[in-house]
Amino acid sequence: MKPKQFLLLLAGAATLSIGCGGGGECATAFDKELECGDQSDERKKKMKSQRSEAISHCKKNKDEPHMKAALACGKTNSCEEYTACKLSEDSKSDIEEIESKLKEGKADDAMSTCRYQLDTYKAVPDFMAACDKAFAAVFSDLKTEDTRSNARYACASASDSGEWRAASPALTEGCKTLSESYKATITKQRDTGSEYNYSDCSGYGDLMKAIDKDGIAAATLLCNEGEVADDFTEGFAEIAKNLAEKKASLPFRCTSILDSKYNADTVEKLKDSKWFSAKSIELAKACYGGEMGTLLLGEVGSYCGTTAKAVHAAVTKYNLPTSDAAFKAALDSTVEMCSK
């Protein structure tokens, strides 16, 4: 967004840029705008033709805020100083808006003003100070999904250059805080076996692409873990149900998670996951060992079926404990038949 045109307007003549004629500070301001202003040659030519009219307007309206600002900036020594002065004056209305929204408790709205104007005014210290307050206020309270979404957008929308974060320490720290918030939420979902939340992982992934490309792999792995967490929860629940009913039936999740005929894609995605490895061993013990294993082996009659063979294979594959007397007895009594 280009800066607002910092102009001295003639009364009733909206087409006239900054202008004062004759002499004194009005002429100085006019000349400085003519020299340093961002206008086309055609525009500057028109300004010159209206110089005398602008003098009168300038002198009559010296006490107006926009005129005072124009005269002050006209006294600068160089075009660089003049441009900086114009930016500073132009930004004041936005600074007032940001501070007003913060006082009203509308931190999201204050941040929106910063987002839309940050590229324009990032070189203005007062504007950046106001935005730092706005960013800090938003990132201090990430409880609602709307706030998290707006905060994530503020972090990710400058992903091509990172200029926003470079300009605002509060935004940089806020993005890190948001990243840790997503990580904590997804980790909790995984560890409690909650249902996978696609929205959280999608937001986390977008954020990491913007602020920490080196952390994308770890974020993806965590989300892949979270995606299968509720499968483990279902598996343990099925096992508990079958045990309560003394039902000698291998729960579906025991095969869908642990059997290579069904889990190839999952294993590939989670090949570097210590969590998945440990959780798989825990599930294998519950599926094939102890009381559940004893029930399954108790079904062996004149021949050893697929499920019973899977129990024997799991003992070796997962190093299942055989300290349970009933399970050890069931293994010993079926080992010869199940090894054929």
- Encode pLDDT of 142-170 as tens digits: 877 888 888 888 888 754 446 777 778 88
Q: How many CA atoms lie within 13 A of 136 on its CB side?
A: 11
Q: Where are the domains of the chain?
A: 1-75, 90-211, 228-340
Mean pLDDT value across residues 297-317: 91
- Radius of gyration, alpha carbons of the chain: 35
Q: Cβ atoms within 10 A of the Cβ of 214, count?
A: 7
**How far apart (Å, rounded) are the C-alpha atoms in residues 115 and 165?**
11
Return the top range by mean pLDDT from 11-25, 62-76, 157-171, 207-221. Answer: 207-221
To 5 degrees, how large is the angle CA 214–CA 219–CA 221? 115
Phi and psi at residue 13, in whole multiples of 5°?
-130, 85
**What tokens were used for 248?**
């000698």
pLDDT one-digit tens code per residue, 82-91: 888 888 988 9
Contact 151, 112 (CB under 8 A): no
- pTM here is 0.73
- The DSSP letter of residue 208 is H
pLDDT recorded at residue 157: 72
CB 58 within 8 A of CB 69: no
